[in-house]
Amino acid sequence: MQLTPSMEKFIVHWGEMGSRWGVNRTVAQIFALLVLSKDPMNAEQIVETLGVARSNASNSLKELQSLNLVSLNHKLGDRRDHFVAIKDCWDMLQILAEERKKREIDPTLEILEQCLAEAKKDNQTPEYVSEQLQQMSDFMQTMSKWYQQMKQMDRKLLVKFFKVGSLLTSWLSKK
């Protein structure tokens, strides 16, 4: 695939953002390339287009598949694997939110519950610490419940919800 200057700029930027999102540059760049690609791409095409090592591309594609952002496609008469990225931004948002919840919120909630249970059993944990742990646990539980509600929301309603958010904030700040 021949990259235009705007495509290259987008892919480079996405790669830079990858480290802020917890993935390496190549993972993010491959995802960006696949998002921009109209047709499925095989690993050789990805390596050639981005100028990355084959092993790096292979590992990155596995990671993108494990994150459910990229799926495998096969073409009749071609033994190679072809890859397709999730194209819809709302689907991306939901998949990324689910993955982050699994990696960040769920384990943190579990640890907070363990810490709270241990703090109740011992008499050495200061009350202030227990209060802080409880506050964090309550917050994480709220975030988890909020995510579940958003996940179950109809797509059209979800889009309206996000679009209304700024209007609601503006309206509430005037009250």
pLDDT (tens digit per residue) in 88-132: 988 888 888 888 898 889 999 999 999 999 999 998 999 999 999
For residues 81, 87, 91, 95, the Cα torsion angle rounded to the nearest 10 degrees is: 40
Is the pLDDT at 75 greater than 70? The verdict is yes
In this structure, are 80 and 95 located in the same domain?
A: no
pLDDT, mean of residues 134-147: 94
Is the pLDDT at 144 greater than 80? The verdict is yes
Judge whether 63 lies within some domain. Answer: yes
pTM: 0.78
Contacts 24+ apart (CB under 8 A), 17-24: 22/103, 23/63, 23/67, 24/60
Of 85, 111, 141, which marks where a domain is finished?
A: 85
Give the pLDDT confidence of 3-35 residue by residue, as tens digits. 999 999 999 999 999 888 888 999 999 999 999
Judge whether 62 lies within some domain. Answer: yes
Of 85, 105, 132, which marks where a domain is finished?
A: 85
Q: Specify which residues 82 forms β-bridges with.
A: 42, 73
In this structure, are 25 and 62 located in the same domain?
A: yes
Top pLDDT among 76 and 165 is at 76
Judge whether 136 lies within some domain. Answer: yes
**pLDDT band, residue 38 (cuts 50/70/90):** very high
In this structure, are 24 and 77 located in the same domain?
A: yes
In this structure, are 100 and 156 located in the same domain?
A: yes
Of 20, 54, 85, which marks where a domain is finished?
A: 85
In this structure, are 94 and 146 located in the same domain?
A: yes
CATH of the domain at 56: 1.10.10.10
* 8-state DSSP, 68: T
Task: State both tokens at 17.
Answer: 């953002």
pLDDT, mean of residues 147-156: 88
pLDDT, mean of residues 42-56: 96
Out of 31-35, 54-58, 164-168, which region has the weakest mean confidence (pLDDT)?
164-168
In this structure, are 75 and 103 located in the same domain?
A: no
Q: How many domains does the chain have?
A: 2
In this structure, are 27 and 69 located in the same domain?
A: yes
Residue 118: domain span:
89-163
**Concatenated DSSP letters of 96-151:** HHHHHIIIIIHHHHHHHHHHHHHHHH-S-S-HHHHHHHHHHHHHHHHHHHHHHHHH
In this structure, are 12 and 36 located in the same domain?
A: yes
